[in-house]
């Protein structure tokens, strides 16, 4: 007779789940949703589109966070029912389903537990990721595009909305740089551990000698900050260049000079945007990112820290945080945490949760030291 006993495992998950609910303060999330729902229902909300966007975005984030927490609790309840039915009916198929669900819930609760480790000032915010190719020629620009796809696939797996803000295509393969936004609760706290230099070693598909090629790409992550408008940037400090948006191989996407590049002359920070429909929209998006970077820089200087939150990333030897080996022994290895995967294809297809969780735990230990 079938006797499936998962009670100890389920009880352990319930204890962890209870601790997580307490840390995340579910009742405070409910209060936020009630307040934001009232604001979102105001008849004059859209008289101020910028404020309306902030309110609806905040409401969506809080609703998503609550649904995730409550959904796990419901699935724990359903799992206990499924185990009971499997034992009552002697149903091996239900027993297999229960074991699979236990494994899935264990992973979900582990990920939610990792979220409780994110207590940085900006961790709750959405994230803006910029990828830049480094040393390595065509291999580096191709690698930069591989990393961009990796993060987009990761976001897709989690159903996180993504907005590509700018893409600069290389003359040969891949991209010189790309900037995109991941709009999800705790996106910055989650993906900020991906910031740094990534190194790829493989047999180059662009050479004829079948030699191993090493290339680099830099990943920068900053939070999306509404209060970035507090940074006053004099017009005299900005050089504005407009140019025609382009696609792969330099092909024109449209026939107007709608793309915008802002250069902050005192710091040398450069931000470009080309994926909005008009020059005005691209300039507004670029200004928001520039203001965010300057605000972060100011806060870091005020706190007398050595680096900006986005980090100083050179995309070359001596600065790498993760290596990807696509020859001989297939391996992806994080040099900070020691976490590794023997399936690079899966990693490049967005299977990053293990690396990100290890990175968040590593960062928390480092901050507590």
Percent of the chain with pLDDT over 90: 50
Q: Which pair of tokens denotes residue 366?
A: 């480092």
pLDDT at 49: 85
At 305, is the pLDDT very low, low, confident or very high (cuts 50, 70, 90)? very low
pLDDT at 306: 36
pLDDT at 316: 52
pLDDT at 163: 92
- Of 63 and 4, the one with more pLDDT: 63
Q: pLDDT, tens digit, for every residue of 205-220?
A: 887 667 888 999 999 9
Q: pLDDT, tens digit, for every residue of 239-285?
A: 998 887 666 654 445 445 788 899 999 989 999 888 777 888 888 88
Q: Please tell me the pTM assigned to this model.
A: 0.76
- Of 343 and 242, the one with more pLDDT: 343
Residue 184 pLDDT > 60: yes
Mean pLDDT over the full length of the chain: 86
At 304, is the pLDDT very low, low, confident or very high (cuts 50, 70, 90)? very low
Percent of the chain with pLDDT over 70: 89
Mean pLDDT, residues 185-194 taken together: 92
Mean pLDDT, residues 140-163 taken together: 95
pLDDT at 207: 73
pLDDT at 210: 73
Instruction: Write out the chain in H/E/C secondary structure.
Output: CCCCCCHHHHHHHHHHHHHHHHHHCHHHHHHHHHHHHHHHCCCCHHHCHHHHHHHHHHHHHHHHHHHHHHHHHHHHHHHHHHHHHHHHHCCHHHHHHHHHHHHHHHHHHHHHHHHCCCCCCCCCCCEEEEEEECCCHHHHHHHHHHHHHHHHHHHHHCCCCEEEEEEEECCCCCEEEEEEEECCCCHHHHHHHHCEEEEEEEECCCCCCCCEEEEEEEEEEEECCHHHHHCCCCHHHEEEEEECCECHHHCECCCCCCEEEEEECCCCEEEEECCCCCHHHHHHHHHHHHHHHHHHHHHHHHCCCCCCCCCCCCCCCCCEEEEEECCCCCEEEECCCCCEECCHHHHHCCCCHHHHHHHHHHHHHHHHC
Q: pLDDT, tens digit, for every residue of 3-54?
A: 778 889 999 999 999 999 998 899 999 999 999 999 999 999 999 887 888 8
């Amino acid at each position: 007779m079938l006797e499936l006993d998962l009670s100890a495992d389920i009880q352990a998950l319930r204890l962890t789940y209870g601790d997580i609910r307490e840390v995340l303060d579910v009742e405070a999330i409910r209060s936020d949703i009630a307040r934001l729902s009232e604001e979102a229902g105001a008849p004059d909300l859209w008289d101020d589109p910028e404020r309306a966007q902030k309110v609806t975005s905040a409401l969506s984030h809080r609703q998503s966070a609550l649904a995730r927490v409550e959904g796990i609790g419901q699935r724990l309840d359903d799992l206990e029912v499924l185990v009971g039915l499997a034992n009552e009916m002697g149903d091996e198929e239900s027993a297999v389903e229960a074991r699979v669900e236990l494994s899935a819930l264990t992973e979900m609760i582990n990920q939610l537990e990792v979220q409780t480790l994110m207590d940085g000032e900006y961790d709750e915010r959405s994230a803006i990721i910029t990828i830049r190719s480094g040393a390595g020629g065509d291999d580096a620009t191709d690698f930069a595009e591989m990393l961009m796809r990796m993060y987009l696939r990761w976001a897709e797996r989690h159903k996180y909305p993504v907005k590509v803000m700018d893409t600069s295509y290389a003359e040969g393969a891949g991209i010189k740089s790309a900037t995109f936004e991941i709009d999800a609760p705790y996106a910055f706290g989650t993906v900020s551990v991906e910031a740094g230099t990534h190194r790829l070693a493989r047999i180059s598909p662009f050479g004829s000698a079948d030699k191993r090629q090493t290339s680099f790409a830099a990943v920068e992550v900053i939070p999306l900050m509404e209060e970035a408008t507090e940074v006053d940037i004099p017009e005299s400090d900005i050089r504005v260049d407009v140019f025609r948006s382009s696609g792969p191989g330099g092909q024109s996407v449209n026939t107007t000079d709608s793309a915008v590049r802002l250069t902050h002359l005192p710091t040398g920070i450069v931000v470009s945007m080309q994926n909005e429909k008009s020059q005005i929209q691209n300039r507004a998006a670029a200004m928001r990112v520039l203001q965010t970077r300057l605000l972060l820089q100011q806060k870091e200087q005020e706190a007398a820290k050595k680096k900006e939150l986005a980090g100083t990333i050179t995309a070359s030897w001596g600065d790498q945080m993760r290596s990807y080996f696509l020859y001989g022994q297939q391996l992806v290895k994080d040099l900070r945490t020691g976490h590794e995967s023997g399936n690079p294809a899966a990693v490049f297809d967005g299977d990053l949760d293990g690396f990100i969780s290890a990175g968040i735990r590593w960062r928390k230990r480092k901050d507590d030291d």
